[in-house]
Each structure stands twice: as structure tokens, then as C-alpha cells.
Chain A
């Protein structure tokens, strides 16, 4: 079984600053995928970024980057130059192995960007 831990229930960040959202995971699988999703107040789940367990480079997507430290089993999301529209819930998730595409989610971090 896999487990995702997000230890920051809420964060407040000044606009234009960078922010790091923490995520640690536990799995016995050698092959797995890690994901971050954004959930605004509307409730939709927006896919942000993906990291495969065998990827040597950290994933980046625009202002989002994933700081993947495999030995520490961490997959932190870094948002550069935060914007007011970044205020939302953020969920870290993982799949246990490729081909089994169901996701296990962490408890989430509520990010609030302060003007």
C-alpha cells in the first residue's frame, strides 16, 4: 500500500514570492508516479505536474517545479512568483505502479496568496 503525507494544512505567502509545498510518500513499489493537483473553490481538480520514479530530472511546467528527492521519498511542489490566482487547495498524489492508474491522495495544503 502507498501513503502520501502533506504536513502543512495551510500556508500564507506574499504575492510574487516563491512557495514550497511539502509532500512525502511511502511505497514498496520500484515504479511509481507522483502528481500535484490544484483544487480551487469551484471543486475541479486541475493537473499541475508529474514526476516518474525513474526520471532523473526534476519535472517543470511553467511556474511549477517538482523537487524530487527519491532517497528521502519527497516530492515537494515549488511555485515561483506566486500570483493571487494560486490561492487554492493543493494535493499531492501517487500511483503505485504504471498500468494501475488509480491515485492515492494526501490530505492537501490550503495555500493563500496575500496581496
Chain B
């Protein structure tokens, strides 16, 4: 299993600002995933981050709103840009594994 450190664990942000979430893995992984969980909802995949290439975004998510960096095989960041109250969610990073994906602790974001 992988150990994933995600920070910040929570934040309260003003609308119109941006927040960058960091995800550090204790081993090298090819793919990292970013999910969003809106209040009372299930998890939805935002994008897949591969080292050395552009992230692949799911339908409904765009790079301008959720830019992702993947500078090496153990680290990734997700930025939530120009935030609005609708962006209030839990954001989780994940690494895939053949028999189980593991998640960071999540970032609970509130936009006011």
C-alpha cells in the first residue's frame, strides 16, 4: 500500500481566489488521480495526472479551472482557480494500485 500525504487538510477561502492542494506519495507511481466530492455526494474524477505529460481531464472539468502539475513520480498539485461557493467540496488525491486505490486524507474546502 502507498502512504499519501495531502495538504492542506482544510481551508476556508474567499471567492475569486485560488487554492493549491499538494499530494505527496511515499513511492514512485505512474498515475495520480484527483477527485472531487461535493457535499452529500459521491466522488467524481477531475483528472488523471501523468508525470511528464499534460493531465487528462474528465468531462465537465477544464484545465483553466483546475490546473494540475506533476513534476515527478511522487508529487502532484491541484489548483482550484477563481473559486466560487460551488467549489466547496472535499478534494482527494489518489494513486492507483492493481488491487486497490489509496487516497490522501482529503482537503475540505469551503468558499465564502
Size bin of chain A's contact surface: 20 to 34
Contact B103 A106 (CB under 8 A): no
How far, in Å, is B62 (CB) from chain A's closest CB? 18
* B106-A45 in contact (CB<8A): yes
Chain B, 83-109, contact with A by CB distance < 8 Å: what is the 0/1 string? 000000010101011111111111010
Q: Is the CB of B42 within 8 A of A102?
A: no
Let me know if A102 and B45 touch, CB within 8 A. yes
Query: Which residues of chain A are within 8 angstroms of B104 by Cβ–Cβ distance?
Result: 44
For the complex, give the distance between the alpha carbons of A98 and B37 in Å.
24
A44 to B94, CA, bound (A): 11
Alpha-carbon gap, A103 to B36, bound state (A): 12
Give A50 Cβ to nearest chain B Cβ, in Å: 4
Q: Which residue of B lies closest to A92 (CB)?
A: B42
Say yes or no: A101 contacts B103, CB within 8 Å. Answer: no
Give 10 nearest A-B pairs by CB, closest first: A101-B96, A45-B103, A43-B106, A50-B99, A105-B42, A105-B43, A47-B100, A50-B100, A44-B105, A43-B90
A-to-B contact residues, CB < 8 Å: 33, 35, 37, 42-45, 47, 50, 52, 91, 93, 95, 98, 101-108
